[in-house]
Structure 1
Amino acid sequence: MGRIGLALTLAGTALLPGCFPQEVACPAIGQVAGVSLTVSAGYAGDVASLRLKACQDGVCSEGDLMLHPGAVSVDQGCSPDGVCSATSSPDGTLLGSLELPALSESPMEATVSGTSRSGTALPTRTLTFTPRGDYPYGEQCGRFISAAVTLDGEGLRQR
């Protein structure tokens, strides 16, 4: 094969992949069906324990939440060679979650009760909301459904 034939062959193979759809790698991330709850920073100091009940499609799950401190990512910038970093900083919130047997985009009712740090009962809060579906990694990677609520002094709201 001459130089011209070799050049045409190489050019054709270099351009050929652009003519056909390429397979896209999806992250190997599993999703746990459940409801996540964030206690706002302004209310977290009042909360000692919480219990969450979630009902959807006639099935209810209920349990005490294991609460842990929330945090935000703080950008630490990038070095001249392109290495970037971030650190975690507490934000005063509390986080908890309740696993469910399944999660769909049909309406859900969530009820939160608990005790304050002084041992008194916190007001029971109930919210009916619809979990949200999204394609965070593109439609080819599947739909993720999330159910998230925030509790503060005013009540319970969807996040």
Structure 2
Amino acid sequence: MGKMALALTLTGTTALLPGCLTEPVPCPAIAQASGVSLTVAADYVPSVGSLRLKACQDGVCTEETLMLNPGYTAVDQGCSPDGVCSATSSPDGTLHAFMQLPVLTESPMDATLTGTAPSGTDLPTRTLTFTPRGDYPFGEQCGRFVTANLVLDASGLRQG
């Protein structure tokens, strides 16, 4: 009888184990683009006509004229009683650009930003040495994402 009780106990425990295990968390099906993003602060936008960025990391440099696009922010529109939530985007007065890089790591990067004002005069050359940041925005099970974000305003270039 002891063996039968043991067998029933083991069978019951085995049946309950899957309920104790955590389910794997799904990861978003997105790929990370390697590059540097730049935001021009809203109060500095009237001073900017065009910008050119040179980024060097691990002995590899990439340089190009940036395509500046209007920036937007998400505006929460709330949730309905049945739990459906929504948001819309609204211009925020900033400009955004992205420069693709062959590879982006967490080693230091040198950035040099030049440009012209709408009048055609040269803007001050801005330089910055910074370290891109690595994070797990979707959890450690989904892999590490490395980002390089810069902000340009009247006081200069800084890491965002």
Q: Determine the C-alpha separation between the residues in 1 that align with 2:72 and 2:128.
A: 25
Q: Which amino acid aligns with 2:71?
A: G
- Map 1:64-83 → 2, pairs under 5 A: 64-83=65-84
Q: Which amino acid aligns with 1:118?
A: S
- Map 1:7-86 → 2, pairs under 5 A: 13=15, 15-86=16-87
- SS of the residue corresponding to residue 19 of structure 2 reads helix
Structure 1 segments (4+ residues) deviating >6 Å: 9-12
Return the offset for 1:20. 2.9
Q: Which amino acid aligns with 2:81?
A: P
Tell me the residue number matched to 1:143. 144
Tell me the residue number matched to 2:154. 153
**Are positions 1:105 and 2:106 aligned together?**
yes
- SS of the residue corresponding to residue 123 of structure 2 reads coil
Aligned residue pairs total: 150
Tell me the residue number matched to 1:117. 118
- SS of the residue corresponding to residue 45 of structure 1 reads helix
TM-score normalised by the chain length of structure 1:
0.89
Q: Determine the C-alpha separation between the residues in 2 that align with 1:86 and 1:146.
A: 25
- SS of the residue corresponding to residue 17 of structure 1 reads helix
Q: Determine the C-alpha separation between the residues in 2 that align with 1:10 and 1:90.
A: 59
The Cα offsets for residues 59-118 of structure 1, whole Å up to 9 and x where unpaired, read as: 000001000000110111111111111110101000001110100000001111011011
Matched residues, percent identical?
69
Structure 2 residues without counterparts, runs of 5 or longer: 1-10
Q: Determine the C-alpha separation between the residues in 1 that align with 2:40 and 2:99.
A: 14
Q: Which amino acid aligns with 1:151?
A: L
Tell me the residue number matched to 1:126. 127
Q: Which amino acid aligns with 1:139?
A: E
- SS of the residue corresponding to residue 80 of structure 1 reads coil
- SS of the residue corresponding to residue 22 of structure 1 reads coil
Tell me the residue number matched to 1:96. 97
Q: Determine the C-alpha separation between the residues in 2 that align with 1:142 and 1:12.
A: 32
TM-score normalised by the chain length of structure 2:
0.89
Structure 1 residues without counterparts, runs of 5 or longer: 1-8
Say what the alpha-carbon RMSD is for the aligned residues: 1.6
Return the offset for 1:21. 4.1
